[in-house]
């Protein structure tokens, strides 16, 4: 596999989607087999990438570059560092698990798997792009399959099917749903997702184009821009161009994260999406925002990042608390998990905002850990819905008697999401809290309150679903008994628990990507511009060698990490 691992990972889902075009829906097992096969190649390649990555060497590895336009400075430039590698692995795991979670989809099975494979490939493309053009290209590509998967295979929320328009027709059977933005239909969820992400993506695109123009380098190559794009301090509207670019990049990508107050599209999308789509949505699609901010703003505008990143430290508190309280009072299982994911993404922003070695390492590890935990919860929420045809928590209960395996896995998923010792989430949360304490103690206190809220609403949901009396109309519900149904949950549980007991490779890989980035951001310019560290006086006849050192200057990193 060697140097071509990234190509296998990126193009295996694309080739699987192309192969499915030539297969009939009358052959459902062949359709599923092709989808599972391409996802398996992607998973194996991502595992190889993760364990073959040399964290001692660090930097970008497995690099592939194919020139696309010399005149415009665009190339398909692929590579991964310690930050992108675990996220590529998370994408491979969730894609493979999502194929089996969707094994029983019967409505246009071929088309469903085609768009699911394209969605996963698009997210993977973002994580390994070293060219701003293709990073944005893959970012926007992910919106198209999300819209189709929600609009075609999603489900309505809040008893939408019982609602009627002013003429007495069911909304789903009329054209009213196109204009009725209060209908809670799956079409509304899909359109809201597209409008939010596309609108803010335009802001990010403006920032990228400004970098391209004013860098004067005629290239979109991130590695070139991060070394030479130092021409951004141009006065504009009472501020400087670098700050305007940074704000465009930050808020343009923060919408998909989703950071409060740009979050409202996400829980609605979670609620309407099919289970596998929700897994990829929460597991990796939401991380595109954090990753793109790190890759673009942190890498290319490090000084501006150091100056403006406290904005994220303020907004992340609202994400944590608001998402937690709404999740506590929500009655729909997917809304609970969706708002939980929005809340937990605030922890990632806190770890990023602290600009500390420990906190940023914890934030990246938390992105990986959250992908496994939320993947489990959405997969099981989908199973419960398939069996009961409802997500209304108050109407359910007692399902543990019918679903002992699912209920047991649900407990593990809740524990992982809370950050209980025994899962990798615990290690990541502790690193975020410890690394952020020195710079943002108030935000850390808010984050700890958020953990308590997480425990409250997840235990409340778990009790409402699986314990207490059961309505007899759900007596037909059955457990996941086949290997196909149990395999995705067992994979995610194994990964979540396994990395708790053996975290060092993950930690070392992530740290190899974080260390040079934080060192670059927190570097302080010496007070004396031209002051030699050591002055050597050449000995003359009968003299001795003398060493004269100037007064030391304060050159200590701002983030509280090691220099």
* Whether the Cβ atoms of residue 528 and residue 407 lie closer than 8 Å to each other: no
Which of the given ranges, 95-104, 220-229, 393-402, has the highest pLDDT on average?
95-104
Sign of CA dihedral 329, 335, 339, 341: positive
Q: What is the DSSP string of 400-459?
A: GGT-HHHHHHHHHHHHHHHT-TTSHHHHHHHHHHHHHHTT-HHHHHHHHHHHHHHHHHHH
Q: What is the pLDDT of residues 425-437, one digit of tens each?
A: 999 999 999 999 9
CA distances from 392 to 16, 316, 337, 556 (A): 36, 29, 13, 54
* Conformation bin of residue 547: beta by default, left when phi > 0, alpha when psi is -120 to 50: beta
- 391-394: long-range contacts (C-beta < 8 A, 24 or more apart)? 391/157, 391/271, 391/332, 391/333, 391/334, 391/335, 392/331, 392/332, 393/331, 393/332, 393/333, 393/336, 393/461, 393/464, 393/465, 394/331, 394/464
Determine the distance from the C-alpha atom of residue 363 to the mean position of all C-alpha atoms in its chain, rounded to a whole number: 11
Note the pLDDT tens digit of each residue in 252-300: 998 888 888 887 777 777 777 788 888 888 888 888 989 999 999 898 8
Cα–Cα dist 417/408, whole Å: 15
CA distance 48 to 44: 6
More confident residue, 158 or 482: 482
C-beta separation of 89 from 128 below 8 A: no
**pLDDT tens column, 121-141:** 999 999 999 999 999 999 999
Q: What would the mean pLDDT of 332-350 be, rounded to a whole number?
A: 88
Look at residue 85 and tell me whether its pLDDT is greater than 60: yes
Q: What pLDDT sits at residue 156?
A: 64
As a whole number of angstroms, the distance between CA 86 and CA 402 comes to 36
List CB contacts of 435: < 8 A, sequence separation 6 or more. 351, 354, 356, 357, 358, 359, 360, 361, 362, 560, 561
Q: What is the mean pLDDT of the chain?
A: 82
CA distance 262 to 443: 20
Domain range summary for the chain, segments of one domain joined by +: 1-160+180-308, 315-530
DSSP letter for 166, please: T
* DSSP E strand stretches across 139-270: 235-236, 239-240
Half-sphere exposure of 173 (CA within 13 A, CB side): 9
Percent of the chain at pLDDT exceeding 90: 32
In sign, the C-alpha dihedral spanning 383, 388, 393, 398 is negative
The pLDDT assigned to 563 comes to 35
CA 389 vs CA 374, 398, 477: distances in Å = 21, 16, 10
Mutual orientation of helices 5-21 and 28-52 as an angle, nearest 10°? 170
The predicted-structure confidence for 345-366, as pLDDT tens digits, reads as follows 889 999 999 988 999 999 999 9
pLDDT tens digits, one per residue of 499-540: 999 999 999 999 999 999 998 888 744 333 333 333 333 334
* CB atoms closer than 10 angstroms to residue 545: 8
- Can you name the residues that pair with 164 across neighbouring β-strands? 170
Is residue 336's pLDDT more than 70? Answer: yes
Instruction: Confirm if 197 and 143 have CB atoms less than 8 A apart.
Output: yes
At residue 398 the predicted structure's pLDDT band, cuts being 50, 70 and 90, is: confident
């Amino acid at each position: 596999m060697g140097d071509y691992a990234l190509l296998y990972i990126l193009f295996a889902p694309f080739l699987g989607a192309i192969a499915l075009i030539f297969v009939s829906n009358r052959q459902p097992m062949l359709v599923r087999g092709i989808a599972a096969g391409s996802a398996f190649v992607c998973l194996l390649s991502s595992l190889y990438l993760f364990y073959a990555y040399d964290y001692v060497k660090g930097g970008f590895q497995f690099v592939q570059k194919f020139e696309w336009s010399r005149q415009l400075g665009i190339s398909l430039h692929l590579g991964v560092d310690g930050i992108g590698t675990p996220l590529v692995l998370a994408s491979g795991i969730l894609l493979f698990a999502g194929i089996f979670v969707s094994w029983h989809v019967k409505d246009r099975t071929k088309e469903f798997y085609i768009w699911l494979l394209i969605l996963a490939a698009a997210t993977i493309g973002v994580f390994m792009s070293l060219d701003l053009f293709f990073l944005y290209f893959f970012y926007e590509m992910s919106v198209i399959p999300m819209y189709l998967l929600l609009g075609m295979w999603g489900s309505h929320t809040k008893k939408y099917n019982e609602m009627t328009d002013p003429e007495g027709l069911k909304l789903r059977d009329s054209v009213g749903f196109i204009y009725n933005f209060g209908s809670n239909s799956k079409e509304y969820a899909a359109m809201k997702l597209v409008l939010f992400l596309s609108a803010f993506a335009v802001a990010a695109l403006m920032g990228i184009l400004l970098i391209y123009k004013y860098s004067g380098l005629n290239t979109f190559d991130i590695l070139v821009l991060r070394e030479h794009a130092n021409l951004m301090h141009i006065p504009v509207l009472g501020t400087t161009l670098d700050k305007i670019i940074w704000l465009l990049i930050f808020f343009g990508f923060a919408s998909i994260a989703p950071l409060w107050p740009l979050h409202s599209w996400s829980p609605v999308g979670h609620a309407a999406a099919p289970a596998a789509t929700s897994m990829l949505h929460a597991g990796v699609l939401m991380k595109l925002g954090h990753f793109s901010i790190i890759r673009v703003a942190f890498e290319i505008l490090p000084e501006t990042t150091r100056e403006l990143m406290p904005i994220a430290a303020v907004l992340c508190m609202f994400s944590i608390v608001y998402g937690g309280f709404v999740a506590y009072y929500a009655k729909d299982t997917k809304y609970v998990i969706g708002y939980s994911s929005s809340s937990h993404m605030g922890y990632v922003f806190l770890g990023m905002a602290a600009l500390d070695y420990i906190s940023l390492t914890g934030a990246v590890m938390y992105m990986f850990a959250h992908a496994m935990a939320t993947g489990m919860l959405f997969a099981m929420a989908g199973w419960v819905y398939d069996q009961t045809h409802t997500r209304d928590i108050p109407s359910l209960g007692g399902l543990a008697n019918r679903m002992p395996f699912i209920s047991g896995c649900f407990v593990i998923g809740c524990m992982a999401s809370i950050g209980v010792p025994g899962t990798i989430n615990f290690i990541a949360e502790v690193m975020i809290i410890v690394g952020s304490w020195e710079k943002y103690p108030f935000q850390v206190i808010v984050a700890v309150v958020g953990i308590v809220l997480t425990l409250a609403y997840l235990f409340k949901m778990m009790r409402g679903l699986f314990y207490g009396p059961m309505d007899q109309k759900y007596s037909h519900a059955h457990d996941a008994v086949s290997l196909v149904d149990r395999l995705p949950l067992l994979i995610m549980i194994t990964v979540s628990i396994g990395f708790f007991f053996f975290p060092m490779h993950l930690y070392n890989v992530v740290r190899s990507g974080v260390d040079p980035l934080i060192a670059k951001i927190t570097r302080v310019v010496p007070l004396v511009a031209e002051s030699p560290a050591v002055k050597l006086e050449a000995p003359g006849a009968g003299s001795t060698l003398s060493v004269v050192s100037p007064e030391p200057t304060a050159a200590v990193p701002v983030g509280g990490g090691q220099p």
